[in-house]
Amino acid sequence: MYINGEWRDAISGKRFDVTNPANGDILESVADGGKEDTLKAISAANDASSNWAKTTTYQRAEILYKAHDLMIQNQGSLAELLSLEQGKAYKFASGEVKYAADFLLWFAEQAKRIYGRTIPSSRPDQRFMVQYRPVGVVGAITPWNYPISMITRKLAPALAAGCTAVLKPTETTPLIAIETFKILEQAGVPKGVINMVTTSNPAEVGNTLIDHPYVRKITFTGSTAVGKKLAAGAAMQMKKISLELGGHAPFIVMKDADPVHAAKGATLVKFLNTGQACISPNRIYVHQDAMNAFLSELKSRVSKLKIGRGMDKGVTIGPLNNQQAVEKMQSQVDDALAKGATLIAGGSQPKDSDLDKGHFFAPTILTSVSPEMKIYREETFGPIAAVIAYDNEDDLINLANDTDYGLAAYVYTQNLSNAYKMIEQLKFGIIGINDINPTAAGVPFGGMKTSGYGREGGEEGLLEYLEVKTAGISI
């Protein structure tokens, strides 16, 4: 763990193993922190808070610039570790490291744009001034599916704003978090400003962050169920909180769209990170006139996906996070088939004996998916493409919005009017029009409804870590 500028073991002396999801091999063991370790981390962050808040935005930016450069210099080794620990193919792991570095660069630049303003008064002897000040100690909880980019997406704006932080990385990918902290330490982050508690008991550490009065903001990426509990706990102390939770993205192929182009996009985004992305499409709506061409191209592209260990050459589909995820995939497929769906490809664990020690599931295509099936309502978070034919485009908005989630949506159309209609009426925070990657460090990322609230990235991402102060001055 990293507390007050020192690498240390847990107070209990306990450690836990980190394994490779592709074969179950133990990669390393790490400190297994608990409540007492978290309290020390919070205390260190609180002690460092005042001095860090007094630094200039240029000083903070310089550290973030250095961290960005160091991350790019170490991109290859970080990507290899990420592939081994999380399971994703090396080329995608390398892309995530670059994405993580982008947040360091963006917020290094954005730090210098924390502007205040003056507001005219109705009184001639009065002036109003608005300032933005750091919120204080931040508790950051990050997920396993994008374990390095989600760290920088939270810590970079926190540091830029003048906040200190305590990070709890997920228990399945703490090694990449450790390497990220080594980079931040090398870049010159002062002791106590960032702290990290690795743990196999996330509830104990998370509850400590929620309950402690020194922690003034919580930022979390993960499941909706856990997010709701964190929001309830934060509300009891009126802590600021931002939540990036689950998704159930619709992928809409309109009648005028190019079905082959749409199928290419659907394949890329559906099977990205083995489907383990909150913005991954769950319901693929295809106009019946385009269905044959779309399915033909989708099946062709899926058949070329290579499943295997992330460091193996040519692999595009890695393992799922754990065996429970594999069982969830099988349950959704079996339920859909029992209720009338048609299996076009995949549908089970691969039969390759070289993969039997890992958490693999074959890339799968289901058609004739209907609302009574679990896959139509539940977030899949895996490599299953659920395809639904539709006839009347007037029903599309209601079909797409018929979910408690509201993170991402995708629309393929060649009609500008359709594009604007979808952007304005779909109840999702992120919408891609003929675009499967509507995200970047410089744009806000986040959802509506049970997909959470608050935004990460962009100007909005920095505001999440700032308090607004107003001064009225009589002259």
List domains and CATH numbers for the chain: 2-245+449-474 (3.40.605.10), 249-433 (3.40.309.10)
Rg for the chain, CA atoms, rounded: 23
The structure tokens listed for 123 are 């009184």
Q: Using CA of residue 390, residue 276, residue 271, residue 319, what is the dihedral sign?
A: negative
Label the pairing between strands 452-453 and 240-244.
Answer: antiparallel
Q: Provide the pLDDT for residue 183.
A: 98
Query: Measured between alpha carbons, how far is 27 from 13 in angstroms, rounded to an integer?
Result: 19
Query: Measured between alpha carbons, how far is 317 from 106 in angstroms, rounded to an integer?
Result: 30
Query: At residue 244, what are phi and psi to the nearest 5 degrees?
Result: -115, 105
User: Which positions ≥6 away from 173 have C-beta within 8 Å?
Assistant: 18, 82, 85, 86, 144, 147
Please state the pTM of the whole predicted model. Answer: 0.96
Q: Is 372 a catalytic residue?
A: no
Q: How many residues does the chain have?
A: 475
String of DSSP letters for 113-175: G---EEE--SSTTEEEEEEEEE--EEEEE--SSSTTHHHHHHHHHHHHHT-EEEEE--TT-HH
**Of the residues 244, 297, 379, 464, which is catalytic?**
244
Using CB atoms within 10 Å of the CB of residue 182, give its burial: 0 to 12 exposed, 13 to 18 middle, 19+ buried: middle
Asked if 249 and 279 touch (Cβ cutoff 8 Å), the reply is yes
**Of the residues 163, 278, 297, 456, which is catalytic?**
278
Query: At residue 352, what are phi and psi to the nearest 5 degrees?
Result: -65, 120
User: Which positions ≥6 away from 222 have C-beta within 8 Å?
Assistant: 141, 143, 245
Using CB atoms within 10 Å of the CB of residue 139, give its burial: 0 to 12 exposed, 13 to 18 middle, 19+ buried: buried
Asked if 156 and 65 touch (Cβ cutoff 8 Å), the reply is no
Query: At residue 31, what are phi and psi to the nearest 5 degrees?
Result: -60, 135
Asked if 173 and 85 touch (Cβ cutoff 8 Å), the reply is yes
User: Which positions ≥6 away from 137 have C-beta within 8 Å?
Assistant: 42, 45, 46, 49, 163, 164, 165, 166, 214, 215, 216, 217
Q: Provide the pLDDT for residue 354.
A: 83
The structure tokens listed for 271 are 């099977």
Q: Provide the pLDDT for residue 230.
A: 97
Helix (H) or strand (E) holding 107: helix 90-110
Q: Provide the pLDDT for residue 132.
A: 97
Label the pairing between strands 15-19 and 6-7.
Answer: unpaired
Asked if 14 and 36 touch (Cβ cutoff 8 Å), the reply is no
Q: Provide the pLDDT for residue 383.
A: 98
Query: Measured between alpha carbons, how far is 198 from 184 in angstroms, rounded to an integer?
Result: 17
CA angle, 453 as apex, 450 and 459 as ends, to 5°? 150
CB atoms within 10 A of CB 378: 15
Which one-letter amino acid corresponds to residue 339?
K
Coil, strand or helix at 250: strand
**pLDDT tens digit at each of 475 positions of the chain:** 999 999 999 999 999 999 999 999 999 999 999 999 999 999 999 999 999 999 999 999 999 999 999 999 999 999 999 999 999 999 999 999 999 999 999 999 999 999 999 999 999 999 999 999 999 999 999 999 999 999 999 999 999 999 999 999 999 999 999 999 999 999 999 999 999 999 999 999 999 999 999 999 999 999 999 999 999 999 999 999 999 999 999 999 999 999 999 999 999 999 999 999 999 999 999 999 999 999 999 999 999 999 999 999 999 999 999 999 999 999 999 999 999 999 999 999 998 878 989 999 999 999 999 999 999 999 999 999 999 999 998 889 999 999 999 999 999 999 999 999 999 999 999 999 999 999 999 999 999 999 999 999 999 999 999 999 999 999 9
Q: Is 278 a catalytic residue?
A: yes
Q: Provide the pLDDT for residue 394.
A: 87
CA neighbor of 17 nearest in space, from 179, 145, 197, 175: 175
Q: Provide the pLDDT for residue 352.
A: 80
Coil, strand or helix at 392: coil
Q: In the chain, how long is the greatest CA-to-CA distance?
A: 81
Helix (H) or strand (E) holding 399: helix 396-401
Query: Measured between alpha carbons, how far is 452 from 460 in angstroms, rounded to an integer?
Result: 15
